[in-house]
């Protein structure tokens, strides 16, 4: 199956290369489908003389844009369209290509008008816009040049309020620190609207349920000299739109009752017989409406209701309730409706009832997954049998049980079967997730944004590799919560891993010449506490940029070290069989436990030029320090370089550490304690499901432990920057919806294992096959 897929993929690659070459040949006839007497819009260039004005936003106002291009000059999709037949209206090349953009004069005029409106909204009322059309008669193309002289913007001289309702004035004045528009700012309509929304939100969070941004108007006096504006914010009364003699002030609302319908069916799907089948439980102020049997404990729903945290209605608390009900994964649909209660309250205070409509999701389910895997650059196939129970004890507890089986093509260390699926893996994982902070103390202030989750998990994994067998038993107790819409926190207070190694290939053991590496291949116990913070704005920001930040810190062995010392346990004494050194360490469950401190930083930044072109960069720094009971870092915690997700010009685990170069007969597991890496990748869409990329990778790994005696492996502050490896290359990605199949061809540019002064490949050595590395992987590298 894999060979078949590779064969089909290689055939597709060849066809694509032919298409690209053909596109290059016809690129000179880009006006093939441009009507006679018309011109192809070749280039649109917008220049502005003020750096404070967002040039990308200006470009969005242009009504007609040139055809999409790759690398800023090659209009590949137009070229593909031009390969199509004149006789066929919808052939394959027309579907994957892009029709030529024919220049239209009225669209250029509309662009100028849109730019004027945009600049006025940004405070530049005296902006001058000139558009110039450069015609290339022979090529039947035109270039549109737009030059913007912004001029001096209008600024806010004085910012005052006029508030009809004296009761809401203190709320607005109290939050002056959060004011968006301030004296001296540019008179920007977008900022004014942002200020309106901010003020409306403040009042909604303090009980004013019916207050909207329509109650807020801005009155600007632009008659002052020196382009200054007197700005007054008018906050109108409740019935400001009605022509009445006496205005009514805004009313604050209290919440009276909460009605949970846990078996809600939208009205269009509800018949009369179902309406009669519902039962009700009254527990004032709560009412629970259900069918047959209440699926959830009432205390669960009461605890998820954050609206009770305030006496008056609060938009903030309503949003917290909505997020919490969605987060627990119990419902397909969540609606919150508020109804003013007629006849209750007075002119100052109103009363609301809240109807919470919940459509339950299926309670249990099985699934079977067959997936491709990519572990450190080694491809494989895995199968999972999953069982999930969404409401185990009627408190929204989620049980997940997974049976796993995997086969992987592992790089064999000694044997010659590197291309076979020589690694087997079997395992079981089980977890229970609770929708609360399970602890002997309260921490509501920490989890103010969203209800936290407590996760208990355990697992057993058996791995049979060509050169050894490994079993891993783990137990974990941790918490997950969001502190902002884009920020997720993971805290594992107990992360227990018991690793046993057996069935070693004697040739494999004898091939490990470095004793530091060899000592990490022993049975060990890891009892760690770790915390991870992830910021990911990719799905929250509306502009063309996003970032991803991840910070992890892990400490292992300190609690066990303290316990064995407090209990007076004796150290285990032995002699190292290879060096003859006397070893002394503690054991727990007859196994030496690891002790280390490890931290990682990763940052990614993405920029989308348009729907077909993007640039993604990544930086990574990781440091681990082993000490105490086990002064060698466990091998699964070490860093390595190279591979499909690292510096792609090197095979996985063949780079570094430092200037070290392993001999050909040495065990290729070049790992260490420090990792520094940076990557940048330009991605461009070729066809509907095929994406191309150019990339540049740099970095290396180093040893921090003095026991590592590999030559050139040690990290030295005055030398490490001279030991950076650099690779470049190109690749293709095939998006099959469920997964992305990726090919990357890396080329070494700078190899730190070469002699100093001759580490750059180009210019010192002829390019040979050994300088290339071909990676096959699943998913994006970052």
User: What's the pLDDT score for residue 156?
Assistant: 92
Phi, psi angle pair for 65, to nearest 5°? -120, 155
286 vs 539, higher pLDDT = 286
141-178: per-residue pLDDT in tens?
A: 999 999 999 999 999 998 889 998 889 999 998 887 88
Computed from CA positions of residues 459, 361, 295, 396, in that sequence, does the dihedral angle turn out positive or negative?
positive
Residue 11 in this model has a pLDDT that exceeds 80: no
665 vs 363, higher pLDDT = 363
581 vs 457, higher pLDDT = 457
From the list 330, 284, 314, 539, the residue with the least C-alpha distance to 451 is: 330
- Is the Cβ–Cβ distance between 334 and 326 less than 8 Å? yes
454-463: per-residue pLDDT in tens?
A: 999 999 999 8
User: What's the pLDDT score for residue 415?
Assistant: 47
- Is the Cβ–Cβ distance between 409 and 423 less than 8 Å? yes
User: What's the pLDDT score for residue 199?
Assistant: 94
Mention every residue, 6+ apart, whose C-beta is less than 8 A from residue 531: 489, 490, 491, 492, 552, 553, 554
From the list 196, 197, 204, the residue with the least C-alpha distance to 233 is: 196
User: What's the pLDDT score for residue 240?
Assistant: 56
Residue 417 in this model has a pLDDT that exceeds 50: no
Q: How far apart are CA 100 and CA 33, in angstroms?
A: 7
Least trusted range by pLDDT, from 11-25, 77-91, 510-524, 739-753: 11-25
User: What's the pLDDT score for residue 419?
Assistant: 43
For residue 503, list its beta bridge partners: none
Mention every residue, 6+ apart, whose C-beta is less than 8 A from residue 428: 401, 402, 403, 404, 459, 460
Peptide bond into 285 cis (omega under 30): yes
pLDDT band at 7 (very low <50, low <70, confident <90, very high): very low
| pTM of the entire predicted model | 0.85
Mean pLDDT of 55-74: 89
Per-residue CA distances from 361 to 195, 264, 314, 396, 669 (Å): 40, 11, 28, 11, 47
220-254: per-residue pLDDT in tens?
A: 887 767 889 999 999 988 765 554 445 578 999 99
Least trusted range by pLDDT, from 107-111, 272-276, 285-289, 572-576: 272-276
Q: How far apart are CA 548 and CA 206, in angstroms?
A: 34
Both structure tokens of 485: 């819409």
User: What's the pLDDT score for residue 705?
Assistant: 79
643-666: per-residue pLDDT in tens?
A: 889 999 998 889 989 999 887 766
Computed from CA positions of residues 106, 112, 115, 117, in that sequence, does the dihedral angle turn out positive or negative?
negative
- Is the Cβ–Cβ distance between 88 and 94 less than 8 Å? yes
442 vs 237, higher pLDDT = 237
User: What's the pLDDT score for residue 122?
Assistant: 94
The chain-wide mean pLDDT, for the chain, equals 86
Mean pLDDT of 71-90: 85
Mean pLDDT of 668-678: 89
Phi, psi angle pair for 641, to nearest 5°? -115, 170
Going by the DSSP 8-state scheme, the letter that residue 229 receives in this structure is E
Torsion of CA 89, 95, 100, 101, to 10 degrees: 110
Q: How far apart are CA 637 and CA 629, in angstroms?
A: 16
User: What's the pLDDT score for residue 670?
Assistant: 87
Mean pLDDT of 22-42: 76
Going by the DSSP 8-state scheme, the letter that residue 637 receives in this structure is G
Residue 331 in this model has a pLDDT that exceeds 70: yes
What distance, in Å, lies between the first and last C-alpha atoms of the chain? 27
Residue 352 in this model has a pLDDT that exceeds 90: yes
From the list 318, 306, 258, 333, the residue with the least C-alpha distance to 451 is: 306
pLDDT band at 520 (very low <50, low <70, confident <90, very high): low
Residue 91 in this model has a pLDDT that exceeds 60: yes
User: What's the pLDDT score for residue 2?
Assistant: 37
Mention every residue, 6+ apart, whose C-beta is less than 8 A from residue 546: 536, 537, 538, 605, 606
Count CA within 13 A, CB hemisphere, residue 616. 14
251-304: per-residue pLDDT in tens?
A: 999 999 999 999 998 877 766 655 667 899 999 999 999 998 999 999 999 999
Q: How far apart are CA 714 and CA 703, in angstroms?
A: 5
Least trusted range by pLDDT, from 259-268, 270-279, 483-492, 572-581: 270-279
150 vs 579, higher pLDDT = 150
Residue 371 in this model has a pLDDT that exceeds 70: no
Mean pLDDT of 128-148: 94
- Is the Cβ–Cβ distance between 682 and 695 less than 8 Å? yes
Q: Which domains does the chain have, with CATH numbers?
A: 2-135 (no CATH), 155-240 (3.10.20.310), 253-360 (3.10.20.310), 512-778 (2.40.160)
For residue 426, list its beta bridge partners: 405, 462
For residue 432, list its beta bridge partners: 399, 456
Helix extents (H) in 85-186: 92-96, 105-121, 169-174
User: What's the pLDDT score for residue 31?
Assistant: 86
Going by the DSSP 8-state scheme, the letter that residue 66 receives in this structure is P
């Amino acid at each position: 199956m894999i060979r078949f897929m590779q064969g089909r993929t290689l055939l597709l690659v060849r066809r694509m290369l032919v298409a690209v070459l053909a596109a290059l040949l016809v690129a000179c006839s880009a006006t093939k489908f441009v009507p006679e007497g018309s011109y192809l819009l070749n280039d649109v260039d917008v220049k502005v003389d003020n750096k404070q004005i967002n040039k990308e936003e200006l470009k969005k106002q242009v009504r007609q844009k040139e055809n999409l291009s790759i690398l800023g000059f090659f209009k590949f999709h137009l070229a593909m369209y031009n390969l199509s037949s004149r006789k066929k209206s919808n052939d394959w090349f027309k579907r994957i290509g892009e029709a030529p953009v024919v220049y239209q004069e009225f669209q250029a005029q509309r662009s100028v008008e849109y730019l004027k409106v945009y600049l006025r909204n940004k405070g530049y009322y005296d902006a001058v816009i000139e558009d110039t059309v450069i015609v290339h008669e022979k090529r039947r193309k035109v270039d549109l040049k737009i030059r913007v002289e912004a001029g001096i913007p209008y600024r806010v001289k004085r910012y005052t309020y006029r508030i009809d309702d004296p009761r809401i004035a203190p709320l607005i004045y109290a939050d002056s620190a959060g004011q968006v528009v301030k004296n001296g700012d540019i008179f920007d309509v977008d900022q004014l609207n942002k200020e309106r929304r901010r003020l409306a939100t403040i009042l909604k969070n303090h009980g004013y349920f019916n207050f909207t941004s329509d109650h807020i108007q801005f009155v600007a006096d632009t008659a002052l000299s020196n382009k200054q504006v007197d700005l007054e914010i008018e906050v109108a009364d409740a019935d400001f739109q009605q022509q009445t003699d006496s205005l009514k002030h805004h009313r604050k609302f209290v919440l009276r009752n909460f009605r949970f319908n846990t078996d809600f069916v939208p009205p269009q799907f509800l018949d009369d017989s179902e309406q009669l089948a519902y039962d009700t439980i009254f527990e004032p102020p709560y009412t629970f409406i259900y069918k047959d049997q209440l699926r959830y404990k009432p205390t669960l729903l009461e605890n998820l209701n954050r609206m009770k945290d305030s006496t008056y209605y609060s938009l903030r608390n309503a949003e917290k309730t909505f997020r919490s009900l969605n987060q627990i994964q119990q419902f397909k649909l969540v609606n919150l409706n508020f109804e003013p209660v007629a006849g209750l309250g007075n002119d100052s205070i109103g009363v609301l009832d809240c109807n919470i409509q919940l459509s339950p999701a299926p309670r249990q389910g099985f699934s079977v997954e067959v997936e491709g895997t990519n572990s450190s650059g080694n491809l494989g196939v895995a199968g999972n049998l999953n069982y999930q129970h969404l409401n185990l004890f009627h408190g929204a507890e989620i049980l997940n049980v997974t049976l796993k089986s995997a086969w992987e093509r592992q790089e064999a260390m000694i044997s010659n079967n590197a291309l076979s699926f020589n690694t087997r893996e079997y395992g079981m994982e089980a977890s229970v997730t609770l929708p609360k902070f399970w602890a002997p103390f309260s921490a509501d202030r920490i989890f103010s944004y969203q209800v936290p989750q407590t996760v208990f998990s355990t697992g057993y994994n058996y791995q049979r590799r060509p050169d050894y067998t490994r079993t891993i038993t783990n137990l974990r107790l941790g918490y997950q919560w969001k502190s902002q819409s884009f920020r997720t926190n993971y805290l594992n207070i107990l992360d227990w891993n018991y690793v046993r190694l057996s069935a070693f290939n004697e040739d494999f053991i004898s091939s490990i010449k470095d004793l530091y590496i060899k000592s990490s291949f022993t049975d060990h116990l890891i009892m760690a506490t770790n915390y991870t913070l992830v910021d990911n704005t990719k799905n929250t920001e509306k502009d063309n940029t996003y970032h991803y930040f991840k910070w992890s810190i892990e400490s292992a062995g300190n609690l066990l070290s303290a316990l064995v010392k407090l209990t007076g346990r004796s150290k285990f004494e032995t002699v190292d069989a290879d060096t003859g050194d006397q070893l002394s360490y503690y054991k727990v469950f007859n196994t030496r436990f690891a002790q280390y401190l490890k931290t990682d930083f990763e940052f990614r930044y993405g920029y989308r030029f348009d729907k077909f072109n993007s640039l993604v960069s990544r930086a990574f720094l990781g440091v681990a320090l082993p000490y105490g009971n086990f002064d060698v870092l466990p091998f699964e915690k070490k860093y390595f370089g190279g591979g499909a997700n690292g510096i792609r010009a090197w095979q996985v685990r063949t780079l570094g550490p430092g200037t070290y170069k392993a001999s050909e007969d040495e065990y290729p597991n070049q790992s260490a304690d420090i990792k520094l890496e940076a990557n940048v990748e330009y991605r461009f869409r070729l066809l509907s499901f095929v994406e191309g990329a150019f990339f540049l990778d740099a970095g290396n790994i180093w040893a921090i432990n003095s026991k590592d005696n590999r030559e050139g492996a040690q990290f030295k502050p005055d030398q490490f920057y001279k030991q950076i490896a650099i690779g470049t290359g190109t690749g293709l990605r095939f998006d099959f919806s469920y997964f992305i199949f990726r090919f990357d061809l890396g080329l070494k540019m700078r190899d730190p294992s070469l002699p100093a002064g001759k580490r750059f490949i180009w210019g010192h050595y002829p390019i040979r096959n050994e300088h290339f590395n071909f990676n096959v992987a699943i998913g994006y590298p970052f």
